[in-house]
Amino acid sequence: MSAALPTMSLVLEYELVGDGARPPWWRTLLLVLPISLLSLASVVFSPLGSAMSAENPDGATVLAAAGALTLAFFGPVVLFWRHRFPFLITVVAALVAVVIPIGNLLAFGALAALIGRRRGPAVWATTALVTATSTWVVIADALAQPREASVSKTILGPPGGDPRAAIDLAPGVVVTVALVGLAVTIGAGFLIRLRRQNATVSTVAQTEREASDRLGDEAARRQERERIAREVHDAMGHRLSLLNLHAGALELNAGDDPRLQQSAHLVRQSAGEAMDDLRGLLQVLREPLGDEPPAIPLSRLPEVVRDSFGAGQVVNSSIFISEAERADPQLSRGVYRIVQEVLTNARKHAPGEPVHLTVEGDPATGVVIEARNRYVPGPVTPAGSARGLKGIAERAELLGGRLQFGLDEGNTVFRVRVELPWREAPASR
């Protein structure tokens, strides 16, 4: 982030350091309180404070001292906004210290925060201003008489003695005081800047490490998907190709038996469609973020039922979906696969039993798929044979719906019910 600070006819550039995060309020309070107390001490040990301690000070002196004390105590509160208006607060604090004897600590605190969070010519220009004003304040304090009218003489002067006596400080002491204050302030600012830069570097490094870990995980998953895709292609692709080949041969050799021809044709057609589905699944495995597979419109639902008829399954179906063209392709594909799986489960677990299938849907109520067939008791279900119902449940959950199944009518009928919310197709652009 960069900006410009107008100063008379010049435009001084500056740049934000770090992410702009602010310290907690209690840390600023720990900075404000000592600056307030020391600023009060600067007013007390100043020519204005010395005049107040004299006998019968005039009204103007009392009023000026009251204003200076109030400003010294409450002025440092502006440091709570030092991150929002750093240049304004620093410049005003530096100029006020020249006129009102509140000392340099408020300007030093604002300057340290400015150096810690900004860099550029504007920062150095402000630092030069604070250097000039703070030097003036230190010299004026060192020249003030008597001793009680000067902070530096009160602290650095010879111990004891009359506070109203006039004393002088060595020039070297005055220079040292001025340089130490500026050095500590600028050093503190650079320390704050260094900590913020280190924090930013650490954050960037952590982000890069997380991105690298994600890329590594994605590469591992991609390799695993490639391996699975190869195995599925080698195993299922070969068997489906043989099934298609033998079904074609059976259709040619069926002779005059129309039922055998129809069954062989259906097997060959189903094997071809299964190969297409397998290719689509393998493409999803290899490119999970690629293009979506072709949409399966809800109008193709009767084809699933007709395929079941051709396979010898008795299906009594009632399919009515209002405004099917408005359905989202994901919803259409989900309904298609769920109906396909429901009929496959019925044919597998209750062969020869009629299946009553109902599919109803509209944009207002969603889609409801319900299938019933007579329950055929059998041996204990082997592990993994309920995979079809689990797949239906997972697909329904992905679409925001739910699956219900179980025995009904005195444990004589197995019933499956799937409820799916309606999803509108995205508007074409």
CATH of the domain at 310: 3.30.565.10
Given a cut of 70, whether residue 1 has pLDDT beyond it is no
Q: What percent of the chain has pLDDT over 90?
A: 31
Q: Tell me, yes or no, whether 124 lies in a domain.
A: yes
Binned at pLDDT 50, 70 and 90, residue 4 comes out as low
Q: What is the pLDDT of residue 90?
A: 95
pLDDT in tens, 45-93: 999 988 888 778 888 889 999 999 999 999 999 999 988 899 999 999 9
Residues in the chain: 429
Range with top average pLDDT, 197-206, 233-242, 254-263: 197-206
What angle do the packed helices 387-398 and 329-349 form, to 10 degrees? 160
DSSP string over 348-383:
HHSTT--EEEEEEEETTTEEEEEEEEE----SPPPT
Which residues, listed in sequence order, are joined to residue 316 by a DSSP beta bridge? 356
Tokens found for residue 259: 């039922």
Q: What is the pLDDT of residue 385?
A: 45
Q: What's the number of domains the chain is made of? A: 2
Q: What domain range is 334 assigned to?
A: 296-420
Q: What is the mean pLDDT of residues 152-162?
A: 81
pLDDT at 369: 94
Strand partners, 7: 10
> What order do you get walking across the sheet with 2-7 strand by strand?
2-7, 10-16, 118-119
Beta bridge partners of 416: 371, 405
Flag the least confident range among 130-139, 300-309, 399-408. Answer: 300-309
Q: Map residue 51 onto helix, strand or coil.
A: helix
pTM: 0.52
The pLDDT assigned to 235 comes to 67
Helices (H), 253-291: 258-286
What Rg do the C-alpha atoms of the chain give, in angstroms?
Answer: 43
Is residue 283 domain-resident? no
Query: Which of 160-169, 196-205, 261-270, 395-404 is predicted with the least confidence, judged by mean pLDDT?
Result: 261-270
33: pLDDT strictly greater than 90: yes
Q: Final residue of a domain: which of 128, 146, 169?
A: 169
Instruction: Tell me whether residue 225 is in a domain.
Output: no
Element (H or E) spanning 119, and its range? strand 118-119
Q: How far apart are CA 103 and CA 138, in angstroms?
A: 8
Alpha carbons 280 and 282: distance in angstroms, whole number? 5
In a domain, 274, yes or no: no
pLDDT of residue 380: 42
Residues in contact with 399: Cβ distance below 8 Å, sequence separation at least 6, in sequence order: 330, 331, 334, 420, 421, 423
Q: Are residues 8 and 146 in the same domain?
A: yes
Please work out, in degrees rounded to the nearest 5, the angle formed at the alpha carbon of residue 190 by the alpha carbons of 188 and 196: 105
Residue 123 domain flag: yes
**End-to-end CA distance of the chain, in Å?**
37
Q: Give the pLDDT of residue 429.
A: 45
Domain boundary pick from 137, 169, 201: 169
Residue 124's Cβ-side half-sphere holds a number of Cα atoms within 13 Å equal to: 4
Q: Strands of 355-362's sheet, edge to edge?
A: 315-321, 355-362, 366-374, 413-420, 402-408
Is residue 33 included in any domain, yes or no?
Answer: yes
- pLDDT over threshold 50, residue 311: yes
Residue 32 has pLDDT above 60, yes or no: yes
The pLDDT score that the predictor gives to residue 418 is 94
Q: What share of the chain is helix, strand, coil (3-state, %, to 5)?
A: 65, 15, 25
Task: Examine residue 37 and state whether it is found in any structural domain, yes or no.
Answer: yes
With beta carbons less than 8 A apart as the criterion, state whether 326 and 291 touch. Answer: no
Query: How far apart are the C-alpha atoms of 371 and 32, rounded to whole Å?
Result: 75
**E strand residue ranges, 120-212:** none
- Mean pLDDT computed over every residue of the chain: 82
- Same domain assignment for residues 154 and 301: no
Instruction: State yes or no: pLDDT of 283 exceeds 80.
Output: no
| Structural domain includes residue 187 | no
- 63 vs 226: which has the higher pLDDT: 63
CB 117 within 8 A of CB 18: yes
Domain boundary among 169, 204, 219: 169
Buried b / exposed e along 48-80 (16+ C-beta atoms within 10 A)? bbbbbeeeeeeeeeeebbeebbebbbebbebbe
- Given a contact cutoff of 8 angstroms between Cβ atoms, the answer to whether 361 and 367 are in contact is yes
- What lies within 8 Å, CB to CB, of 22 at 6+ separation is 83
161-181 burial code (b ≥16 CB/10 A, e <16): eeeeeeeebeeeebeebbeeb
